[in-house]
A and B are shown apart, each in its own frame.
Chain A
């Protein structure tokens, strides 16, 4: 009987607005991600599950599932859903992975990773963003995400090495400590360019002493075939 009451209450508390967000999210995953050739199932599932509207400023709620980045203050953005999916899929995340994220921002990327991998360690240098993101992640119950307010340049030695590192803020060079803290066979991904304009991604792979980088071409950018 108690269970039935709880179920009724839950049903009643699920507002039409939440249904709308759910449908927006489904549409986002289908049109912005799957249609652009991202088929990594854990990534798609995680993007479907994470309520992106809880990570955007309240005045931008209606644009939470739009195909673009949104400002979160301090010159930072919550990335375009497609970029989040692309970065997540690029590291080919596995259940047992330990992932380091540099640049927590709103916490959205960490939340997406949280549903796929075992542990997420995320570092944010801007104190105000760290405070709001860590509170938000805690409040939404992402228990396998650990946040730190520090300079991402040094990585997080205490929990190194990592299976993958996601750098969410564009960086002019790859900090040597991050390379060091990447596991043998690990992958690191880093964006280049402005989030509001053209963003491409660089994938770094470490195999023993060998480190290679690949400048990835997001599938929305069709290559210039005549050049080939």
Chain B
């Protein structure tokens, strides 16, 4: 008995270590793939790779007898292999043979093969890791409560550990670091009599991991990423590299980079040469310094509009980044600037080592820094400002949907409403966007503000001014109506700079095309329709092929413009192959979903060949475990979404929510070990979960909004009190169900475990689709629905 307990403890420790390693590896992979490609592709590759869990379930179902007979011998081997594959897969994926370029995916078939090869490479460590976990669960299903506890707690710790490790190690070093934990997991459970034989294998594995750590692969960054293009310039080099959970920041020194969006064609002088910052290879911003060059060119930009019509003493710069807007404010003699920037690593660099490169703006007594998300600041602050400014929207030339799946809480109607409420009487919100084609970004911005102003009983035409250059439009939304003198000053500024007014009280049609003409003039007619009346606006929303309806907190996807209903219309207008180029991310999301569902179906059906198609508990198992997998993941995603705004930092919110949920569920699972695995018991637990979800759907948003002003420690306690109770109960149905199944038909246990894993993977992608198409509130409703299904199939058995 004593030996049995000791074995269970060793097994649990091993399982926990392996779980830490797998979750951490998953996060590390996302980071690495976001650096070499883009976030969307990271998301897609990981989603497919996670099918490794389902594949393992199918594999155990097919070879159950053999695997269970050899489990004790196999487990250490499998864990050592998992450990090595974690390191090897990353190294191989970065070789030219496998490294794919997402930019060329739709134009070069060879990239597609490389992408498929990448899927396969990354599927392997997940498959072997999951095989180890699955074998432990299936072999010791009577102790599933305790083992699932170890699995959940390990996974919870893995998330926090990975986030912490990202401060200490560069991403390319991390695979070897997290792989060490999988190796330790294997070491813990080597049977005594095999230890001498394994010592050589372990020594070899340690040597291999050390080698992968020391000579970690250089990341093969896409040649089309901003940083790669910049580094091609002669004399350009990276002068600082810093890793953090926000990404890898690189400061690049270059004798050639000039950044002057919205610059007037009339500007006669030179444009300052800037060093620049990049995050995960994407452009962050220039490091502007007046010590090197004259910054006079900044005053020749459309972004000057708020400053030319009045003094701006209190300025709020949201998502201040490298401080370009802070610098513009200081150049315009602003007395108080509040710079809100959530990226701590960037702030550390710009107020520390690189302070001089940005005129020490972040150490300037006139500048106060707030290291928090812009939305959280807006919700918690009661200050009023003369001006609120945001970073330029979109990317030069359009991003083609690279950010379509990104939740952008700063660009929702609620966010614009909060900005409006934070303005002084004469205050202005200033927002600049690149002019894209087909027109999307400027239309969505103007639609958002038109709706916000109407909600505040204001006539949008009196409060909005917009001026354009050849490639940018700057909008100024003023708290009080624009006065005659202000309109005159704007007109004079436009004439002097070769800009055209686009929206201005009393504007004439020919004014819009004096200097910068558009061959497709529908931009103006659509802007006029948006401002004319809610009816005209709604009509345009429904007729326009792109989604230009304002984003809202429940559907915070500002950059998502493509919609299914118009795909055939767009193909007709622009050609069949043009659609992916408007919004790659949106198309990829659906492609990923189809791909995963296809493989999942195969993996679910395949074991039936072995365990039989009919009878037993198959229908029950399928509905019950798919419902649990879906429901759990949906709730996890919803909690991350709700608490991101609450904590003001997506990374810490995600880490906190995932860890709190998994650890609470782990304890739920541990307690479930003492419970009898009976349908009535399960019905009671799931009923509680469903009721809790319904209550949370109604009260959670307002509860979080009222308590957002609390201090961070209070907020963490409050979040724990909200998350832990439902998560505790959510940890019970899975182990109870597995135990119940094992009592009736043991051979179906691995199949059921696989179903749960597969639906967890499907749910992550499905939740994003539901959020984009219907809103997050529906994700919560579907979560309750999924749990209800699991409940219903038990009612039949009670």
Contacts and interface: CB of A to CB of B under 8 A. Distances in A.
Nearest to B575: A220
B612 interface: no
5 contacts: A173-B262, A215-B518, A223-B522, A224-B545, A228-B525
Contacts of B582: 198
A178 to B, nearest CB: 10
A75 B224 contact: yes
Given A196-B107, A215-B519, A224 B232 contact: no
A175 interface: yes
B107 A68 contact: yes
Given A71-B104, A217-B437, A217-B520, A202 B224 contact: no
A150 to B, nearest CB: 10
Interface of B: 103-104, 106-107, 223-225, 228-229, 232-234, 256, 258-263, 265-271, 396-398, 400, 435, 437-438, 470-471, 498, 515-523, 525-526, 543-545, 573-575, 578, 581-582
Contacts of B522: 223-224, 227-228
Given A73-B223, A75-B228, A176-B271, A196 B516 contact: no
B438 A224 contact: yes
A170 B400 contact: no
B271 A175 contact: yes
A213 B693 CA distance: 56
A126 B107 contact: no
A193 B397 contact: yes
A224 B544 contact: yes
Contact of A213 (B106, B270, B517, B581): B517
B368 to A, nearest CB: 30
A38 interface: no
Contacts of B265: 174, 179, 204, 211, 213
A173 B271 contact: yes
A40 interface: no
Contacts of B229: 75
B574 A220 contact: yes
Given A75-B223, A127-B234, A170 B396 contact: yes
Interface size class of A (residues with CB under 8 A): 35 or more
B531 to A, nearest CB: 14
B515 A211 contact: yes
A214 interface: yes
A228 B471 contact: no
Given A204-B265, A213-B265, A194 B397 contact: yes
Contacts of B519: 214-217, 223
A126 B232 contact: yes
B223 A173 contact: no
A125 interface: yes
B623 to A, nearest CB: 43
Contact of B437 (A69, A172, A221): A221
A159 interface: no
Interface in A125-162: 125-127, 151, 153
Contact of B438 (A192, A197, A202, A221): A221
A200 interface: yes
Nearest to A172: B396
A73 to B, nearest CB: 7
Nearest to B106: A196
A72 to B, nearest CB: 10
